[in-house]
Amino acid sequence: MPTAARPPAAFWLILVAYLLLALGYAVVTPTWQSPDEPAHFNYVRHVWETRSLPVLQPGDYPADLLEELKRLKWPADRPVDAIRYESHQPPLFYLFAAPIYGLAQALGASLRGTVIAVRLVSVALGSVVLYVAWRVGRLSLPESSTVVLAAVGLVAFLPMHLAITAAVNNDSLAELTLLLLLWLCLARVVGYVPQRRFIVLGALLVATALLTKTTIYVAAIALPAAAEGIAWWRRHRFGLTPALAVLAGIYLGALLLSGWWFVRNTAVYGSGDYFGWQRHDSIVVGQLTSRDYLAQVGLARGLREGLATVFQSFWGIFGWMGAPYPYEVYWVLYTLAALAAVGLILYAIGRWGWPRPQFWLLGLVIACAVAGVALYNLKFVQFQGRYLFSALTPITLFAALGLREVWARQHERVLLALSTGLVAALAAYGLVVIQRHL
């Protein structure tokens, strides 16, 4: 990896503020009041207590119990042991988190204390995300440290991202893994990483992605191919055989490291069910399907409500999508997003030869995340902006670049700092929303 300059003092201030806010979210958010948290926690508990991986079984998605507990706001005296529908997830996060669960139990922690302890695993991973986001930003926009810092600040303080990062789930590890792979691929594109190192590190990171979360599979597989193609193009020569040899080394190496997981899935779920998706879809009976939803509201209304909910929940609808900000807040955020989009268009128009090669990789990660959300919603109604967080750093880099373009250049530092400060204030207000409504 390239040895760029160390992050400036402002980065460390952002990191400290992130840790304080993330700790606040981890402590203030009531137990189980984060999407899917009981199922993720039960996975961690199973790994520690049985020293084995769970198998998704019929009955692991008790739809009536879930609806009742959500309606009652997850009372502390109601057990959640039956909620196990995340048992098909790749195992890496849960293997990391299980010793923390075991340590909390050994110290005599209550259930609430154990949940918070496991939440802090995600918080710690989120702090590493910020550092890698800085590195990715410096490779993408080496001429503008101000924009990069603003982007890192948006990653750190986005309220819903804080809420998800301060919960028990595999999202933070998935985001970090894909971001590390993006960093490697950017370094390859700009010529910092030689071929052999690219193959070895690429295989390791793709394997890590395959063992972490299925939602990042497409991006993890596409990034090395795109990076190798761009790297050859930048050298004004392209040979199909050498490029295929590099990619074969990465993908075969990744399969050697992670293939056991897919073999295991076919053994427990049946031939062809490499990811456990067929078993998952067969047991989540009662979840609202997109077909039924559109039959009720129509295509036009469904698209309008879906896009609005994705945008609002990207910023913050807490709990199980039951604790939104006041609606006026979202109009401010619509305005901020519109300014960023206009600025990005102006940036593109004003520069010949745009986009630069690095931007193609950033755009690829965003495209994969958007496609994943769209495809998921073709099956089930899941209007949740958190599914875009695997591409959060590319999104914030483009957003900060767009905001910089609409500000007067001589005041860009102050205005970008104000934008970041606005999001940080919104994150602090999110703690109040959680306390009031969850």
105-141, pLDDT tens digit by residue? 999 999 999 999 999 999 999 999 999 999 999 999 9
Q: What is the pTM of this model?
A: 0.95
In the chain, % of residues over pLDDT 70: 96
Q: Kindly report whether the peptide bond that precedes residue 91 is cis, defined as omega within 30 degrees of 0.
A: no
Residue 290 has pLDDT above 90, yes or no: no
Position 292 scores a pLDDT of: 85
DSSP lists the bridge partners of residue 324 as: 317
User: Is residue 410 over pLDDT 70?
Assistant: no
CA distance linking residue 346 with residue 354, whole number of Å: 11
The average pLDDT across 412-425 equals 87
| 110 φ/ψ angles, rounded to the nearest 5 degrees | -70, 175
Count: domains in the chain? 1
Q: Report the chain's mean pLDDT, rounded to a whole number.
A: 93
306 is a domain residue: yes
pLDDT of residue 191: 87
- Residue 276, pLDDT above cutoff 80: yes
Instruction: Name residue, tokens 């509201």.
Output: 297
34 vs 293, which has greater pLDDT?
34
Over residues 151-175, the mean pLDDT reads 98
pLDDT band at residue 408 under the 50/70/90 scheme = low
Which of 5-14, 18-27, 190-199, 298-307: highest mean pLDDT? 18-27
Q: Identify the pLDDT of residue 287.
A: 79
Q: CB 214: neighbour CB atoms within 10 A?
A: 18
With cut-offs at 50, 70 and 90, classify the pLDDT of residue 80.
very high
Amino acid at position 363, single letter = G
Query: Of the ranges 86-95, 279-288, 316-325, which one carries the lowest mean pLDDT score?
Result: 279-288
Residue 252 maps to a domain: no
pLDDT at res. 237: 59
CB atoms within 10 A of CB 196: 10
pLDDT band at 189 (very low <50, low <70, confident <90, very high): very high
The helix (run of H) or strand (run of E) holding residue 221 is helix 217-234
Residue 139 lies in a domain: yes
Asked if residue 23 belongs to a domain, the reply is yes
Tell me what pLDDT residue 381 has: 86
Range of the domain at 127: 9-190+262-437
The answer to whether position 221 is within a domain reads no
Lowest-pLDDT range of 123-137, 327-341, 345-359, 382-396: 345-359
Q: What is the mean pLDDT of residues 165-186?
A: 98
Q: For residue 33, is it within any domain?
A: yes
Which of 337, 344, 416 lies closest to 147 in space, CA to CA? 416
Does any domain span residue 244?
Answer: no
Block residue for tokens 């997109």 = 290
**Any domain includes 201:** no
On the question of pLDDT at 264 being above 70, the answer is yes
